Structure 1
Amino acid sequence: MACTANGSSELSEDVIEHYFPFEALPEDCKLQVFSYLNNTAKVRCCFVCKEWLFLLKSPRLWNHISLSDFTPICLGQANHTCVYECYKQYQTKVLQFTEYLCQIKPILHSFVFELDIYDPKAKFLPNIENFLRTAQCRELIYAHLNWKETPNQPLWYEEKCWYHESDVIHLHRLRHRKFVWFFDFFTSVASNLKTLIMPFGWSETSVEHLKRLQNLQTLVLEKYFVFKTLDQTLLDRVLEILPKLQRFLLEVWTPSGAGLLFYSLKSASLQFLDISQSRGFYLNGLVMPKLRQFCVARHPWNGPIVSSDKIKIPCLYGILVNGAPNLEKINDHNLEANWKEKKSPNLQEVLKSVCACKSHKRGWAM
């Protein structure tokens, strides 16, 4: 690089001689360069020239799709209602992006969205379904489907109505019905999934839809309903119909109190189990011969006020000794080789922090 008399810089002859323009690259090389861009940058590159627009319509460039990358941006215009207009612009971006992807018919490897599928004004659900119909989903192995809410929706959204408590519950159930229908469709087009993360409403129909995912290795089921009792038969069915499942993260908020229910878990394939985000969820049995790591926390979710003396919660230590003989780790604590025969002081401290039995828990809360 050489400097001219007026201080500006210009390329030296040697640099110019070795300069190789991007336009001269072979098509495969250009596609490789584009593959390193995120989706937002790819969309911007479509406006550079006709050649780039053509190249960026290659289905292989759109393997990883997230419909949650867009964020509301204030328009900065006079006389506009900031919350309403800016969120409408966000909705428009999401819908336009899905329509553009429908033209490309991408070969999906991962798919992520955080959108309320019951929002009647945004119409996210029809666009998502149309996109999945046109996309090539045979290679789709990762999906994170947050169908219960749109995090980018402002709290004081102008079109958002305030409902009576009974109306909120009613809308909650209607949204779940939409999910059951959508999940039926999704599992039919994405049957080769290996990782699935989503809120779950725990209905018999939804559980049976999971049966299509025979290659599933990691399953994260987050809470949707609160204070809804989980049926043991549904829990058994999930672990029964997924033969390759290795990692299971379960979040349910069930009522605890005088009518406290205890649950048992059985799986021949699970190596990692996490119930640390659940509330009111207590175990009375475990049959997992391959389990290596177990994550748990004591989160009571009380219903009726009752005396803790009337509730007998099984000791977690005994459950693990009998049901997880190859366990190596509880939370971040590495177990000693003889943990089943002798509780070390460190293990005792761990049990005092996570187990709700009378031997390890002191105080009124379970």
Structure 2
Amino acid sequence: MEPDQRSFLEQERIRHRPTVRTICFIGMGVLALYILSGPMFMPGDTSRMLYASALMMALIGAYALTVNSRWYLRIWWIDIPFFVGIFCAQLNVNRSFFAVSGDLGSTPSSLVLYNAVTFLITMIVGICGSFVAFSIAALLVVVICSVFTANFGSEWTGFLVQLGPLYTALALSAWANYAIWSKSRYAWKTGRELEEQRAKTEALLYNVLPEPVAERLRNGDTVADSFSEVSVIFVDLVGFSQLSRTLSPRHLVEVLNRFFTLADQCAERSGIEKVKTIGDAYLAVAGATIKHENCAVDAIEFAKALMSELSKSPPVSGLTLQVRVGVHTGAVVGGVIGSARMAYDYWGDTVNLASRIQSAADPSAILVSEQTYYRAHGSVEFGSPRLELLKGIGETKVYPVII
């Protein structure tokens, strides 16, 4: 069975379990009444009726137990032997009433056909999730009933007239079961498609916003957070302004796509949170919505991994990509503002200082602030510090990372 069909079968049978169990309990209750009251209104030996009723009750009980098992959810044909066996037992119960059929205002063939039609109607709901299983079981029931009724010795034309209601019931029950099955199949398919679209929408949302942030927005919360220690990473593509004047738009996009794709891959492997791209710059943070044992060390390791990947990457449009990186550790404010193209962003002096440090770094170099140095110096090797005059900030001590 195909995975889709198996999934649909399991869903339908789980949904119909309570109804099928109820039908089984009702059937067993009716048979119990037959067993208790049969000797009261049936003359002569009632052993055939009692034995056949007990057998039929046992089969229904076994089926009710099977309905609660995992095989009922996975085996599409499991109903067939039970329903055919129950019907054969029912024929023996009917045979017990042949001697008194006249007193009941009926005939043996009428008793058999009436019960066969009732049985087909019960099967419409009893066999759910597989129209093929219903069709096989219904055809077997009709064939057995036809053979059994043929033994009454009626003329051929009379035999056909007697079986007319049975075949009419077969056609109507098949149509009804198919209508229920096709409607359920359509609802299941539609629900599955909606679930797939919801999953895609969630994946897209989580690609734009961190999952905890997305959940808070769904709940209508205002998203504003304060983080006391976050390492902000600014990565800038060296010589991009010159490239933008010499490369065609297509080649320029190829260069940026290679750079940002490698940065995304390194960020995912390192557990670094990508914030956004700003022109040719890549902004990421460590230690905010994703917790790190030492955000400064992880931020530097991400920058080193990105430089390693760029050095191994083949030239794009004949160019070897180089970047400069700045890292600063401090407090930031994070949140979501606006109502269109929302994104979780970060603000504060820490972000500004990381950007300024990046602008002071040499090509293919990582420069960090003094705060980042103090948090990472036991795990990362640094060069000698130097003072840099940063725009809007003044002289700042920075440390180059030895790669």
TM over 0.5: no
Q: Shorter-chain TM-score: which interval?
A: under 0.3
- Does 1 or 2 have the higher relative contact order (CA < 8 Å, sep 6+)? 2
Give TM-score scaled by structure 2 length.
0.20
Give TM-score scaled by structure 1 length.
0.22
